[in-house]
Amino acid sequence: MRTVLLASMRHHTRRYVAASLAVVIGVAFVVVTGVLTGATRSGLTADAGAPVAGVDHVVTMPGDREVTRLMEAAAEGGFPAMAVGYAMEPVFRDGIQLTQSADVSEVSLDPALQWQTLEDGRYPASADEALADLNRAKSSGVSIGDVVRIGSGDDAADVEVVGLVDSPSVGGASLYVPWQTLQRFDGTLWVSAVAWGGSTAAAGELAPGASVETSADWIAAQQAEISRGVDIIAILALLFVAIALFVGALVIANTFAILFAQRMRDFALLRCVGVTKRQLRRAVRLEALALGLVASTLGLLVGGALGVALVGLVGVWFDDMGGASLSPLWAGAAFAVGVLVTVGAAWLPTRAATRVAPLAALRPDTGVDVRTAAGRWRLVLALATLVGGSALLAVSVATTTVPVMLAGGALAFVGVLLLGPVLVPALVRLVGGLAGRGPVRRLATGNAVRNPRRTATTAASLLVGVTLTTAVLTGLASSRTAIDRDMDESYPLDATVTAIDAPLPADLAERVAAVDGVDDAVALDGTLASVREQSVPLVALGSQPGVVRGDRRLTTPDGVVRLSYDLVEALPRAVAERVWADRELTVVTGGRERTLRVRTGSGWGQAGIVSPATLAALDPAPQPLAVWVRAAEGTDAEDLSGDLAALAGAAGADLGGGYGNRSWVYLQVDIMTGAVVGLLAIAIVIALVGIANTLGLSVLERGRENALLRAMGLTRTQLRRSMAAEGLLLSTVATLLGTAIGIVFAWVGVQVMVGAVVDDVGITVPVWQVAAVAVTASLAGLAACVVPARKAARVTPAAGLALD
Amino acid sequence: MTTTSLQARTAASARGLTRTYGSGDNTVHALRGVDLDLPAGRFTAIMGPSGSGKSTLMHCLAGLDAATEGSVSVAGRDLAGLDDTALTLFRREHIGFVFQAFNLLPMLTAGQNILLPLELAGREVDRERYEQVVGVLGLADRLGHLPSQLSGGQQQRVAIARALVTRPDIVFADEPTGNLDSEASAEVLGHLRRSVRELGMTVVMVTHELDAAAYADDVVVIHDGAVTAHLADPSQDALVAALRGRRA
């Protein structure tokens, strides 16, 4: 039997190429995931302990007052201590805002705790000196010697940048200032731990609410935390690996089913000469095993090479990438999964193949009749799963439970796959009929549906990828609509320029409107009222201006002032308390006092909003005090903010607005969309390999038939075209079905996941994206036929007729 | 070699037709300089033992295979110099085929199989001709069946109908009865002869069966790639003598 096995493997090597390709891609995918996450993990964890490397203990989770006490005690006692945490503050240079919010951490004045990697300059020697992150400094145009102002209002501190450092992405910050300066930003400061050089007893006394642990323990905990984060990403990636492998299994199962059907006579002949059923089954399973072993080995090699290359590539932009390495466990698991998927996928076809009767070899050769039919039990099972899955989906929508939705989705999809042998040929006939009647199309349609199960499996492999991609794209687009509404609510204005203590120049609105990326700008008139000697700009809003996003009303009734939370917080404490308690604010304009009722909110910058009538009563001669801006779609947030900051700074005004946040959130959604589509693309590629494979193997099978057609007058071009039409039909049907199911799944997903949080969620189909996926998948199906079609057309009729 | 004086036109002819396969030591000479004229309106059988080159001869005459040397002309057209597409279009217009097996496309019904050549050529279906051919071959009640639902003899009749429906200048049949029992064989051969007599077709049949050749008007005997006899209306004895004479 060994001779037969080896000879048959040699003989059929070429036919196994596509199936092995599916396994190679799947295994390589696992390996690349392992290499990338390994490198990310080692890179990120490498620096985790740096801030506390110089001390023996760490005080974790201290309260605000405890931090202050600890830091003071250390200063008095002359031993090292450093706060691990950050404050989020705006940064200005020469009155111009560089960023709305930068993370500021501590740099110790004690050399023992100066953990940052200095790239240029020196460490700070006093409270008014600072370190800046190299990359952030570069993007904001800050260099050594620049004096920047951190924070706003009374807490603002001017510091000179004396050194540039390379910040790690975990535990790093944009700016580092000594504790004396950092503690001024108590409004936004959050300290998670204090690196402690003193005695543990003293720490316990000073911070009874905190816990003291050794630096080693703390570092281990930090690294574990980072690892967990990386693990979550790895698990998410493995989910896509599983999808790709599932598609791969479909392709492999189909390949074996086709190959075995073609070799039925060989099998029967073997049975005739005395090979038992068991021996035959063993032989073909050994073939599958050999294929799995070879393909998985190749997958390991390809994945390893690709992983190393990717780690190198990512390292160009992302400094914190560690070295590429692969744990033996991960490699072993990838290999085992590849072999198991191959052998598992070959299992069923093997059973069917070895059931052949020895007599089959003796029957006259009437051609390979590989017609397979959908069994009745299969149909019943398919309908049952489909109905059951749909019912579960309906339940999940009604109860917004995610696990039920996942179970229902999986069940319904399996139902569709089981129904494939009936559904797919019917759709192929329908689509083929719509395309027109010519002989080439008739031939293509006929060929595409003659083996329903094979056609269905081929379509199913592509269906998986298209369904998931469409569902994810539509789901994200729908969530994005919900996010949009939420964003409009939170950030009604893209940018605001608000006067602080002097009116704005009259032409500022015009100059703002002329800035690149500004869609519209409107100037608001108002008066600079004073509250306990503090200047508060009040602007009048008659009707909702067009620059405001969403439906949120910003206008106010007469006698009411709309104040932002920030503005209230910046008022003298007694006034602020009265605002919170009585909802009243007394302002002085033109020497007269007036009390206004207060509404609070946020999103319109540092000015109070009043009605035009109220303003007229306060000040008969209002002046421009604010410019509200709406950004054009797709404007770069950094550029816009830089340009507006320059104008605002020159006018002595404050810059606010939500465009930066909005862009950041959209960027996250875009990155997520890109990542998911990119990962699913691998499953689609495997499916296309499957289509090419099915067509390629069918060509071998139809050699005589094609020769007959050619003899009767089918030209080479017509033959190629009919093959192309067949591939296109298959991919189009899979794509149409996948798009439809994907949109349904997305609707359910949005109802269940977003509907649980937001009322009245609709579905937004990203028409262009979905269309792009559909067109790409269909055309790729066409591309998959190029090689098989050429091969089929090359055979001369005489040679084809001589084929056995 | 006897030739008939009745021949008015030549449906197909070969001059110095040579076909070799492979090269060097492995060269196989399938045909060695065949000169042959096949008369129109006759039922000619090409006979010879296995490996004599009769199938290669038919493939070359039908434009399915290219000659290594020499020329072939069919319906007055020299096939040399035609590229693959031109050759395909020529076959479509002028030549009909009946093969031993794999004659019909399994996913098309008998009727669709018969009309396939017309469809491939994008030609209008001549209903009258279709009905006539279907009638002569007795297929009227079988048109909606798939090939798998037909007997071997019925399948070959469908193949003949398909070859005739386009009114080709010449029909080539390659061992059309090779897979059939004697009763079905007789039926198929009878139909081929009727298509010559009643529909005025030209049929060239390759066979190695003496019984099959008996249905033909003329018999061409081929041996080792060369034509050894071309007999018009041979008697059984003359035919046996021609075949045996060579073997002796």
Q: Is residue A499 within 8 Å of residue A629, measured between CB atoms? A: no
| The two structure tokens encoding residue A268 | 């029967």
Q: How many other CB atoms sit within 10 Å of the CB of residue A68?
A: 17
Are residues A45 and A151 located together in one domain of the fold? no
- Distance from the B236 Cα atom to the nearest Cα atom in chain A, whole angstroms: 31
| Contact state of B89 with A715 under an 8 Å Cβ cutoff | yes
Indicate the residue among A200, A227, A244 that finishes a domain. A200
SS (H, E, C) B28-52: EEEEEEEEEEEECCCEEEEECCCCC
When CB atoms are compared, the residue of B84, B85, B117 closest to A712 is B117
How distant is the Cα of B237 from the closest Cα of chain A, in angstroms? 33
Across A541-611, where does the E strand assignment appear?
560-564, 584-589, 592-601, 608-610
Residues A568 and A534 in one domain: yes
Integer Cα distance of A156 and B202 in angstroms: 106
Q: What is the mean pLDDT of residues A173-192?
A: 89
Q: Averaged over A645-654, what is the pLDDT?
A: 84
Report the Cα–Cα distance between both ends of chain B, in Å, rounded. Answer: 18
The neighbour count for residue B130, using CB atoms within 10 Å, is: 18
Q: Which domain holds residue B106?
A: 43-63+82-247
Half-sphere exposure of A574 (CA within 13 A, CB side): 4
pLDDT(A335) > 90: yes
The answer on A234 and A141 residing in a single domain is no
3-state secondary structure of A412: helix
- What is the token pair recorded at A433? 């009929």
Q: What is residue A24's predicted lDDT score, i.e. its pLDDT?
A: 92
For the record, the structure tokens of A71 come out as: 């830091």
| Phi, psi of A204, rounded to the nearest 5 degrees | -60, -40
Q: Please report whether residue A429 resides in a domain.
A: no
Q: Which residues 6+ apart lie within 8 Å of A446 measured at CB?
A: B105, B107, B108
% pLDDT > 90, chain B:
17
Residue A641 shares a structural domain with residue A529: yes
Q: Test B102 with A705 for CB contact under 8 angstroms.
A: yes
Which of helix, strand or coil describes residue A130? Answer: strand
Is A364 within 8 Å of chain B by CB?
yes
Chain A nearest C-alpha distance from B74 (Å): 15
Greatest extent of chain A over all pairs of C-alpha atoms, in Å:
115
Residues A250, A253, A254, CA angle at the centre, nearest 5°? 85
B155 inside domain = yes
Identify which of B131, B189, B183 has the alpha carbon closest to the alpha carbon of residue B160.
Answer: B189
Which chain A residue has its CA at the smallest distance from B67's CA? A798
Average pLDDT over residues A672-677: 84
Domain membership of residue A416 (yes or no) is no
The tens digit of pLDDT for each residue in A714-762 reads 888 888 888 888 888 888 999 999 999 999 999 998 888 877 777 677 7
Nearest C-alpha in B relative to A710: B88
Number of domains comprising chain A: 4
pLDDT for A364 equals: 46
Q: Where are the alpha helices (DSSP H) in B175-228?
A: 182-197, 210-213
**Average pLDDT for residues B116-139, to the nearest whole number?**
85
- The highest-confidence range among A344-358, A368-382, A465-479, by mean pLDDT, is A465-479
Any idea which residue has 């790093």 for tokens?
Answer: A172
Q: Given this model, what pLDDT does residue A371 score?
A: 44
Does B12 fall in a domain? no
Is B85–A714 a contact, with Cβ atoms under 8 angstroms apart?
A: no
Identity of residue B123: R
Contact (Cβ atoms closer than 8 angstroms) between residue A259 and residue A40? no
When scoring A369, A710, A801 by the number of chain B Cβ atoms within 10 A, the one with the most, hence best to mutate, is A801
Angstrom CA distances, A527 to A182, A555, A587, A591, A622, stand at 35, 16, 11, 13, 5
Please spell the DSSP secondary structure of A417-480, one letter per residue: HHHHHHHHHHHHHHHHHHH---HHHHHHHHHHHSSHHHHHHHHHHHHHHHHHHHHHHHHHHHHH
Q: Tell which residue, A88, A83, A28, has the closest CA to residue A58.
A: A83
Domain ends where: A657, A676, A703? A657
Query: Is B76 inside any structural domain?
Result: no
> Does residue B3 fall inside a structural domain?
no
Average pLDDT over residues A52-57: 85
User: Is the sign of the CA dihedral A34, A39, A40, A45 positive or negative?
Assistant: positive
Q: What is the mean pLDDT of chain A?
A: 85
Chain B hits for A721, CB-CB cut-off 8 Å, are none
Q: Within a 10 A sphere around the Cβ of A79, how many other Cβ atoms?
A: 16
Contact predicate A676/A648, CB 8 Å: no
* Contact yes or no for A711 and B108 at CB 8 A: no
User: pLDDT tens, A605-615?
Assistant: 888 899 999 88
Asked, for residue A33, whether it belongs to a domain, the answer is yes
Position B10 in a domain: no
Q: Could you give the CA distance from residue A628 to residue A544 in angstroms, rounded to a whole number?
A: 12
Place A361 in a pLDDT band, splitting at 50, 70 and 90.
low
pLDDT tens-digit readout, B153-203: 889 889 989 888 888 999 999 888 887 888 888 988 998 898 898 888 899
Residue A363: pLDDT over 60: no
- CB-count exposure of residue A713 (10 Å: 0-12, 13-18, 19+): buried
Q: Does A429 touch chain B (CB under 8 A)?
A: no
Instruction: Give the contacts of A178 (CB within 8 A, at least 6 positions apart).
Output: A106, A107, A108, A109, A124, A126, A127, A129
Q: Which residues of B touch A (CB under 8 A)?
A: 59, 62, 64-65, 84-85, 88-89, 91-93, 97, 99, 101-103, 105-108, 116-117, 119-122, 148, 162, 179
Residues A50 and A74 occupy one common structural domain? no
Range with lowest mean pLDDT among A290-299, A405-414, B24-33: B24-33
Does residue B139 form part of some domain?
yes
From the list B65, B74, B70, B104, the residue with the least C-alpha distance to B202 is B74
Q: Could you tell me if A262 and A332 lie in one domain?
A: yes
Q: What percent of chain A has pLDDT over 70?
A: 96
Distance CA B162, CA B184 (A): 18
Do A336 and A443 have their domain in common? no
Domain end position, chosen among A321, A345, A370: A370
Q: Does residue A303 have a pLDDT over 50?
A: yes
Q: Do B97 and A711 touch (CB under 8 A)?
A: yes
Alpha carbon distance A754, A738 (integer Å): 22
The answer to whether the CB atoms of A716 and B105 lie below 8 A apart is: no
* Neighboring chain B residues of A715 at a CB cutoff of 8 Å: 84-85, 88-89
User: A80 — phi, psi (to 5°)?
Assistant: -75, 140
**Among the partner residues A364, A708, A715, nearest to B99 by beta-carbon distance:** A708
Are A715 and B108 within 8 A, CB to CB? no
Does residue B212 lie in a domain region?
A: yes
Would an 8 Å CB–CB cutoff place A803 in contact with chain B?
A: no
| A508 and A647 assigned to the same domain | yes
Same domain? A116 vs A232 = no
Beta partners for residue A732, in sequence order: none
Mean pLDDT over A302-310 rounds to 91
Nearest residue in chain A measured CA to CA from B100: A801
CA B192, B198, B202 angle in degrees (round to 5)? 55
Q: What's the rounded Cα separation, in Å, for the pair A259 and A253?
A: 10
Residue A273 lies in a domain: yes
In sequence order, what are the beta bridge partners of B230?
B220
Cβ–Cβ of B102/A367 closer than 8 Å?
Answer: yes
Strands A495-499 and A81-93: unpaired
Same domain, A584 and A700: no
Label residue A802 by pLDDT band (50, 70, 90).
low
- With tokens 């090979």, the residue in question is A275
What angle, rounded to 10 degrees, do the helices at A277-317 and A2-12 form? 40
- The answer to whether residues A43 and A70 belong to one domain is no
The structural domain count of chain B equals 1
CATH number for the domain harbouring residue B96: 3.40.50.300
In a domain, A347, yes or no: yes
Please report whether residue A427 resides in a domain: no
Q: pLDDT at position B3, please?
A: 44
Spatial distance between the Cα atoms of A523 and B130, rounded to a whole number of angstroms: 85
The residue of chain A with its CA nearest to that of B57 is A798
Q: Which residues of B touch A729 (CB under 8 A)?
A: none
Instruction: Please give the pLDDT value at position A368.
Output: 40
**Token couple for A151:** 């924070």
A261 shares a domain with A152: no
Output b/e per residue, B69-86; b: 16+ Cβ within 10 A.
ebebbbbeeebeebebee
Angstrom distance (rounded) from CA A115 to CA A49: 10
Contact residues on chain A for B120, CB-CB shorter than 8 A: 439, 709, 712-714, 718
Chain A residue numbers touching B50 (CB-CB < 8 A)? none
User: In chain B, what residues touch A455 (CB-CB under 8 Å)?
Assistant: none
Tokens 């073939």 belong to residue: A287
Q: Residue A327: give the domain boundaries.
A: 1-56+210-370
Concatenate the DSSP letters of all residues of B71-85 into one string. Answer: EEEETTEE-TT--HH
* Total CB pairs under 8 A between chain A and B: 78
pLDDT at residue B245 in the model: 67
Chain B environment of A709 (Cβ under 8 Å) = 105, 116, 120
Q: How far is CA A463 from CA A138, A620, A723, in A?
A: 47, 69, 20
pLDDT digits (tens, 9 = 90+) for A418-428: 888 888 888 98
The predicted model scores a pTM of 0.75
Among residues A462, A451, A354, the alpha carbon closest in space to that of A698 is found at A451
A793: CB partners within 8 A, 6+ apart: A716, A717, A719, A720, A723
Whether residue A52 contacts residue A327, with contact meaning beta carbons closer than 8 Å, is answered with no
Q: Are A392 and A404 in contact (CB under 8 A)?
A: yes
pLDDT at residue B170, rounded to an integer: 92
Q: How confident is the model at residue A366 (pLDDT cuts 50, 70, 90)?
A: very low
Separation CA A459–CA B9 (nearest Å): 55
Q: Over 50: is that where the pLDDT of A365 sits?
A: no
Q: Is A717 on the interface with B (CB under 8 A)?
A: yes
- The CA distance from A681 to the nearest CA of chain B, in Å, is 35
> Which whole number is the average pLDDT over B16-22?
88
For the segment A212-268, what is each residue's pLDDT rounded down to a tens digit?
Answer: 889 889 888 888 888 888 888 888 888 888 888 888 888 888 888 888 877 777 787
The C-alpha atoms of residue B164 and residue B158 are separated, in whole angstroms, by 10
Distances, alpha carbon A122 to alpha carbons A109, A145, A161, in Å: 11, 11, 9
Tell me what percent of chain B is helix, strand and coil, each rounded to the nearest 5: 40, 25, 35
